[in-house]
Each structure stands twice: as structure tokens, then as C-alpha cells.
Amino acid sequence: MTKKEQRTKIEQEELLEYKRNGKSAKEIANTKGVALSTVYDKLAKIDPKLLKEAEQEWQQREQEELLEYKRNGKSAKEIANTKGVALSTVYDKLAKIDPKLLKEAEQEWQQREQEELLEYKRNGKSVKEIADIKGVLISAIYNKLAKIDPKLLKEAEQEWQQREQEELLNYKRNGKSTKEIEDIKCVSMGRKLAKIDPKLVEEAKQEWQQREQEELLEYKRNGKSAKEIANTKGVALSTVYDKLAKIDPKLLKEAEQEWQQREQEELLEYKRNGKSVKEIADIKGVSMSTIYNKLAKIAPELVKEAKRKGKQKQEKSDAGIGNISIIKEKIKSREITQNDVKKYRCMVDEKYNEVSYDEVITLIRAYIATKQITEGIRFLNMIINNQDFQYLGIEKIKDMKIQVENIQKRQIARRLLRAEEKIPNIVQQTGLKETEIIEMKKQAYTKGGISLGE
């Protein structure tokens, strides 16, 4: 016999000894300091009859214990608390002993709960207060009161509505606006106020508008600009303009003029500090054409000066990347880089509405050569939407844009073909005709030349 078999035999003999001495499986588990299920498993290995006997013995003891609790007047709830189990567990065990005991326990529990609710009501507690004490929803308390007596439910609802109305009216008497009440209560108040008195809703709206208008006027008296008010309030500038217009159209006009004046002063300050149009546009996050237009309204001579400086930069860069012939050569030899394009674009921007059609088309070719077609399309859109570039021939620029967009579509189609995408999907994604895509597939992937209207 192995050591393991010897241990098992000793353990089994010990368990049988416990059983002969009348110990229950629960008592054996406590003595051994193991789980009850462990004792059951070991008894089952010795003899299945022992397991069955132990389980019956345990159930009998548990039933006797429950009956003893009941004889001592304990409720199912109190038994559950004593045993540290769920109330439903106690109900299940009572039902197994005798269904009458379960029914009796449930009725007893309902009666106790009803008495408790009635006691709360006699002490003047509201439904809300009872729900808070019990840690349940208000609706649960309403349902329980309805089961006791429908009159209690109606009385509770009226009491709740009256308290809520008094609370709202008290807020109103203390000068609180609907918005402030909503912030405090974290719910919408419009409908609740309408149930009390429809006039209160209108009164609340007017009061809120008056406070807001007074606040805006106070800002204006303190010399705040519309922009500063918008920043303080955390709203859009247009919102402040709209509110000022409702108070007095003159205030809106005054605010707009004030904003324009501040903007003009800011631009002039940039110019005094030697900033170029390009630098100002980058700082403001707008296009150069926007800055040129604003400067033209302030002082046309500043626009002339900016263009003159742009010409000087062009002259200085003739030997460098700004020279159109160098860019053309780099495109032809495929040596053009994105940095080259960026510098060339700066030169084009500086020239503004004195840029030539040849310079525009060269820039677009450079964008295509460096795989920046989206940037090229964006640049063409800027020209098309700016009247200052009408001299270039907007129709020609639009035709150029169509050609560039087609190049972009074809590049996307080629990429999708290489990825073995289905032709119908490519048609849907690019807008190209199916015959075009089939022809491209036949020819395989090759780079073609670009005419761009030449």
C-alpha cells in the first residue's frame, strides 16, 4: 500500500468515527476546518449512502432551525439577516418545509412593511423622504401605498406636487430664474412651472432675458468688446451679436465697428513690426488673399508695399528655388521635393494677383509630381473663389481643376487595382467609367504625361 492510499484510509476511518459518534457533516467540516462540500465528497467516496444520509441530516437540522426561529416569532427578514442569506433563500427553504409557512412569511412581511409605511406617514414623512430612507425609488413607495389604500397614493401624490410647487414658487420669490432653478434641480422646469401657473413660464423667460441684457449692457459700460464678452461667456461671437441686436440695433453696429477697428489696428501693428502678408496670414490662420483684402480696406498703399516686397523677393530668388525655370527642370528630371514646392508656393503667394498663368500651372505640376494633388486642388479653389484672380481666366482655371481631379481619380483607381479591388467598387469610389478602369487594367500601371491645357 502506498503512502497516499494509507493517508486516504486513515482519513476515511476518521470520518466513519465521526459519523459513529453522531457528528453531522457540518460539524465534521467545522472540526476539520474544511468546506462542507469537501466532507460530502469524501463521504461519497467511502459510501454513497453516507452522502445521502448526511444531506438528509443537514436538511433536517436546517428545517428544525428555521421552525425554531418561527416559533420564537422571527420574521423571514430577521431570519435572513441572522443567517446572512438573501430573503428569497429563506422563502425557498420555508416553502420546502411547508408551503403554508411561505405564505404566512410573505403575509407577515407585507404586513410589517405596510405598518412601517403607515408609521412614516403618521410621522409626516413625504414619499420622497421614505424612498430616501428605504433606499428605493419613489415609484416603489407609490406602488406599496396603492396596495395598502388607493387614497394614500392619491394623498401622497398631491402632497408631493404641493411640496414641489411651493419649492418652485419659493425659488421664484427669491428672484431665481428658470435657468438657475434648472441648474439647481438638474431637470427641465418649463413644464413644471406651466402646471403651477402658465404666467410663471412667461415671467421666467422675460426675467432671464432682462438679466442677460443687463449683464451685456454692464459689460459694454465696462468697455468690453463683443469678442471679450463672447470669451467670458464661453459662447460664439455671433451669439453676442444676436443678443446685442435684440437689445438695440445700434449696439450691434457699434460692436461690429469696434471689432473691425481692433482688427485693423492689429494688422497695422503686425506691419509696423515688419511682418509680411504671408506671416500675418499664418498667424491669423487665414489665406493671404483675406489679409490683402483687409489691408486694401485700411490702406491701399500697404498692399502696394507688400506686393513690391514680394517682387523683390522674387528677384532675389531668381537664382534659387523661386525661379520657375529651375522648378520646371526639377519636375522634368523628377528631382522636385515637397520642400521645393513649399518655397515655390511662398513665392506665388507673395506675388498674389500678379502671379502669371504659367506660374500657376507650374505650381500645380509640382504638386502632382510630389503627390500633393489635394493641396493643388485646394490652391485652385482659392483662385476660383477670389475675384482678384479673374485676370487669369477663371474658366481655364476650372478646366485645370477638372484635369487635376481626374488625375487624382485615376491614381486612386490604379492603387485600388493593385490591391485587386473589384471594378464596381472602384467605379463607386472614384466616379470613373467602368470602361476607363477596364482599359487601365489592361494597360497595367504606367505613369502618363499631363497636358493641363497646354
Count of other CB atoms within 10 angstroms of residue 128? 15
Q: What is the pLDDT of residues 295-324, one digit of tens each?
A: 777 766 665 565 555 555 544 444 444 578
pLDDT of residue 448: 44
pLDDT, tens digit, 9 for 90 and up, residues 236-280: 878 887 888 787 777 767 777 777 777 778 888 887 788 877 788
E strand map for 92-237? none
3-state SS class at 188: coil
For the stretch 433-442, pLDDT in tens is 888 888 887 7
Please report where in the chains the cell 496670414 appears, as a residue.
Answer: 281
**Do 400 and 381 meet the contact criterion of CB atoms below 8 Å apart?**
no
Burial 374-387 (b: 16+ CB within 10 A, else e): ebbbebbeebeebe
pLDDT tens by residue, 389-424 = 888 888 999 999 999 998 988 888 888 888 888 888
> 64-78, 140-154, 226-240, 331-345 — which one is most confidently predicted on average?
331-345
Q: How many CB atoms lie within 10 A of CB 93?
A: 20
Is residue 365 a contact partner of residue 452, using CB atoms and an 8 Å limit? yes
What is the per-residue pLDDT for 97? 74
pLDDT, position 301: 66
Mean pLDDT over residues 166-180, rounded? 71
Side-chain half-sphere of 344: how many Cα atoms within 13 Å? 28
Q: What residues contact 295, with CB distance under 8 A and at least 6 apart? A: 267, 271, 277, 302, 303, 306
Higher-pLDDT residue of 315, 166: 166
- At 11 the pLDDT is 79
**Structure confidence by residue, pLDDT tens digits, 70-92:** 677 777 778 888 878 887 787 77
pLDDT, tens only, 35-67: 888 877 877 777 777 667 766 776 777 777 777
Cα 24 from Cα 70, distance rounded (Å): 23
C-alpha gyration radius of the chain: 44
DSSP 313-367: HHHHGGGSTT-HHHHHHHHHTT---HHHHHHHHHHHHHHGGG--HHHHHHHHHHH
With 90 as the cut, is the pLDDT of residue 364 above it? yes
From 80-89, 128-137, 200-209, the region with the lowest mean pLDDT = 200-209
Give the residue among 383, 381, 403 at the shortest CA–CA distance from 452: 403
Other beta carbons within 10 Å of 189: 22
- Of the chain, the percentage scoring pLDDT greater than 70 comes to 81
For every residue of 80-115, DSSP letters joined together read HHHHTS-HHHHHHHHHHH-HHHHHHHHHHHHHHHHH
pLDDT of residue 26: 79
Taking 80 as the threshold, does the pLDDT of residue 165 lie above it? Answer: no
Average pLDDT for the chain: 77
Retrieve residue 217's grid coordinates: 449692457
What is the arithmetic mean of pLDDT over 321-336? 82
Q: Is the dihedral of CA 356, 359, 365, 366 positive or negative?
A: negative
Nearest to 292, CA basis, from 382, 377, 405:
382
pTM of the predicted model as reported, rounded to 2 decimal places = 0.36
DSSP designation for 274: T
Residues 225, 258 contacting (CB under 8 angstroms): yes
Angle at 186 between CA 183 and CA 192, to 5 degrees: 95
| Separation CA 385–CA 297 (nearest Å) | 19
What pLDDT is recorded for position 321? Answer: 44
Place of cell 467545522: 30
How many whole angstroms separate alpha carbon 104 and alpha carbon 226? 74
Q: Which long-range contacts (CB under 8 A, 24 or more apart) does 50-58 make?
A: 50/19, 54/24, 54/25, 55/25, 57/24, 57/25, 58/24, 58/25, 58/26
Indicate whether 444 pLDDT > 60.
no
How many percent of the chain have pLDDT more than 90? 6
